[in-house]
Amino acid sequence: MQPQASKKKKPAKERQVLVCRGTGCESQKAKILFDNLEHELKMLGLDDDIEVKFTGCHGFCQQGPTVIVMPAGTFYCNVQPEDADEIVKIDIKDGGKVERLLFIDPKTKERVLSYKDMKFFSPQRRIVLKNCGFINPEDIDDYIAVGGYQGIQKALGGSRMDVINEIKKSGLRGRGGGGFPTGMKWEFCHNSPGDQKYLICNADEGDPGAFMDRAVLEGDPHAVLEGMMIAAYAIGASKAYIYCRAEYPMAYERSMIAIDQATKRGFLGKKIFGSDMDFEIKLKLGAGAFVCGEETALMASIEGKRGMPMPRPPFPAVKGLFGKPTNINNVETFGNIATIMTKGGDWFASVGTEKSKGTKVFALAGKISYSGLVEIPMGTPLREIIDEIGGGIPNKRKFKAAQTGGPSGGCIPSEHFDIPMDYENLTQVGSIMGSGGLIVTDETTCMVDMAKFFLGFTQKESCGKCVPCRLGTKKMLEVLGDISKGKATMEDLEQLLELAQDVKGGSLCGLGQTAPNPVLSTVRYFRDEYEAHILRKECPARVCVDLIKFEVNEENCQKCGLCFKACPAGAVSWEKKQTAKIDVSKCIKCRSCILACRFNAID
């Protein structure tokens, strides 16, 4: 049975207005903007020729809400609902451009017409995100129109091992963190005997600053379903779960809609696509525990138990969900599968590096001009991602480090700014790929404070089952707290490093084993900052408030009054052409003056 669009579906119109309605844009009145665009087109009698379509996230979240007018690809950013009539009249009706809503290139200062010419998009190579921002995620016909559900058709035409061998040939590695070869993982489950096998899509994305999986489920849920269908066929599973965070209501809702549509078309259920394969997918909401991103804890949660990890072996491929052989991959991994099946493993393997094939989706966040989602070929230099795609560090500040892999990862310092981003290189410098969070820091970031933040996160999220993680991370956090207050000694620093190794080696699951990584990584590259806190009682980045005097450095003060304007407590006094002064008795140490000052004049 070939997937076909509904007979009720009208042919797509050549001219379309694409409105991003991912979570970010939706929170900024994208729904009202969408309604206003439809209304204005109708008022001008243009609604028969031009379609207003809502889409998932286009990736450039920093500039949202965004609108793209096709086929020209005109990209409008920071669009408000009241801008709808101007877009319709000037662009749609008269063929002009709404200049004030066009993106301005930060280097050339010129307005850019098409998204294809924007440096945020042009270096990207999109496989997983190719449909995000262009199709309606709540319309199965839109997915079919761009070649959707062709991959499962091709898979069903061959043997299970044919599919596994194709995935092995592609070199795809799991995008959830560890980077284990996907085809090999499928083969383990395929070879495990069992009358019932399960497949799980891990959508429990919990890293601070990461939102890749959320965006894919919101923008292209049918691609994830199709990837799961192909995986299920390969391993011989008939039942599957998508384990989605409760904090992702839009991803959950659109996944539910996609499952319902696919079931009604016969793509899910009994004898899918007219084959002998039965396959059903259920959605399971997680309660937000970070540890449930770990495979065994996730399966326990699905079974209705408390989400806590279990020792391995046995591995899930042998004894997983409900004691049955189970394969688990994350959203991004499944998002690659259908394209690999349609274009072939060799095609996919031609992208990336020798050992890291394909592309990787990163969530750019932190001290960077343009945050958002980017998908780049494996091996792309970090400098290109930050300086070109991300627009560099704002306010003329310098790059200090990038944290990859979230709280389980490590930092990449400026000396490795040109590192090609792939699994092997990141491991070599003491970090990990993780799920794709990429948090950029500049010279105003304190690395002790950053390590404390990530360790605080994992300490709070520890399930408490094993002692090294439960108590070890707690003690480590206490030592970090003392360092940030200037109360620690060099012996404490050595104890911190010893504890880190004990927690790393003694914890039961990956959360505990990787929790010390931010500490180990920051001490490795920024030991001088730790020593400054301990020996000189100084925070070089002026972040740790217990070590800041909150005094105006008269030599550096430019008498501009920015600190005076920023202070919410009235602690700063200033007159034109006079040096500012801080009344420490009124100061609440909020750092507003430090953040406002461009001349490092607050000590």
User: For the segment 185-195, what is each residue's pLDDT rounded down to a tens digit?
Assistant: 999 999 999 99
State whether 231 and 179 are in the same domain. yes
The Cα–Cα gap between 227 and 225 comes to 5
State whether 164 and 303 are in the same domain. yes
State whether 242 and 383 are in the same domain. no
* Six token digits for residue 446: 């304190």
pLDDT tens per residue, range 327-343: 999 999 999 999 999 99
pLDDT tens per residue, range 513-546: 999 999 999 999 999 999 999 999 999 999 999 9
State whether 451 and 435 are in the same domain. no
pTM for the full model? Answer: 0.92
Asked if 431 and 539 count as a contact pair (C-beta separation under 8 A), the reply is: no
Q: In terms of Cα–Cα distance, which of 264, 186, 193 is closest to 232?
A: 186
Of the CA atoms within 13 Å of residue 58, those in its CB half-sphere come to 27
| 14: pLDDT strictly greater than 80 | no
* CATH (domain of 404): 3.10.20.600
Asked if 91 and 69 count as a contact pair (C-beta separation under 8 A), the reply is: yes
Least confident of 377-381, 404-408, 489-493: 404-408
pLDDT tens per residue, range 384-406: 999 999 999 998 889 999 999 88
Residue 191 lies in a domain: yes
Longest dimension (CA), the chain: 83
* Six token digits for residue 33: 């903007």
Which pLDDT value is given to residue 43?
95
Residue 565 lies in a domain: yes
Residue 5 lies in a domain: no
Range of 421's domain?
A: 359-442
pLDDT band at 10 (very low <50, low <70, confident <90, very high): low
- When the pLDDT of each residue in the chain is averaged and rounded to a whole number, the result is 94
The Cα–Cα gap between 237 and 277 comes to 9
pLDDT band at 202 (very low <50, low <70, confident <90, very high): very high
State whether 172 and 263 are in the same domain. yes
Share of the chain above pLDDT 90, in %: 87
State whether 251 and 399 are in the same domain. no
pLDDT band at 107 (very low <50, low <70, confident <90, very high): confident
Residue 584 lies in a domain: yes
Among 65, 84, 117, the domain-final residue is: 117
Q: In terms of Cα–Cα distance, which of 375, 330, 435 is closest to 58?
A: 375
Which pLDDT value is given to residue 5?
55
Which pLDDT value is given to residue 6?
59
Sequence-ordered list of residues with C-beta below 8 angstroms from that of 15, at least 6 positions apart, any chain = 49, 50, 51, 69, 70, 71, 92
CA angle centred on 294, ends 293 and 297, rounded to 5°: 100
Instruction: Find the mean pLDDT for residues 127-133.
Output: 97
| 561: pLDDT strictly greater than 80 | yes
Which pLDDT value is given to residue 208?
84
Residue 7 lies in a domain: no
* CATH (domain of 33): 3.40.30.10
Among 392, 415, 442, the domain-final residue is: 442
Of the CA atoms within 13 Å of residue 472, those in its CB half-sphere come to 27
The Cα–Cα gap between 83 and 38 comes to 12
Of the CA atoms within 13 Å of residue 331, those in its CB half-sphere come to 29
Share of the chain above pLDDT 70, in %: 98
Which pLDDT value is given to residue 7?
57
State whether 233 and 248 are in the same domain. yes
Asked if 54 and 19 count as a contact pair (C-beta separation under 8 A), the reply is: yes
Which pLDDT value is given to residue 599?
87
State whether 292 and 337 are in the same domain. yes
Q: How many CB atoms lie within 10 A of CB 473?
A: 27
pLDDT tens per residue, range 215-269: 999 999 999 999 999 999 999 999 999 999 999 999 999 999 999 999 999 999 9
More confident residue, 69 or 396: 69
Helix axes 160-170, 221-235, angle to 10 degrees: 120
Which pLDDT value is given to residue 395?
83
Residue 3 lies in a domain: no
Kind of pairing between the strands at 198-203 and 326-330:
parallel
The Cα–Cα gap between 304 and 43 comes to 53
Instruction: Find the mean pLDDT for residues 577-601.
Output: 90
Residue 602 lies in a domain: no
User: What is the secondary structure of 245-311 as a DSSP string?
Assistant: ETT-HHHHHHHHHHHHHHHHTTSSBSSGGGSS--BEEEEEEE-S-GGGGSHHHHHHHHTTS------
State whether 294 and 323 are in the same domain. yes
Sequence-ordered list of residues with C-beta below 8 angstroms from that of 122, at least 6 positions apart, any chain = 116
Instruction: Find the mean pLDDT for residues 70-99.
Output: 96
Eight-state DSSP code of residue 37: H
Instruction: Find the mean pLDDT for residues 569-582.
Output: 92
* CATH (domain of 562): 3.30.70.20
- How many domains, the chain? 5
State whether 327 and 370 are in the same domain. no
Q: In terms of Cα–Cα distance, which of 332, 273, 9 is closest to 142?
A: 9
Instruction: Find the mean pLDDT for residues 33-37.
Output: 97
Which pLDDT value is given to residue 84?
97
Which pLDDT value is given to residue 11?
60
Among 297, 318, 350, the domain-final residue is: 350
Position 343, amino acid: K
State whether 430 and 487 are in the same domain. no
State whether 260 and 324 are in the same domain. yes
Q: In terms of Cα–Cα distance, which of 155, 117, 448, 419 is closest to 279?
A: 155
* CATH (domain of 468): 1.20.1440.230
* Six token digits for residue 296: 């065994």
Instruction: Find the mean pLDDT for residues 271-281.
Output: 95
Residue 394 lies in a domain: yes
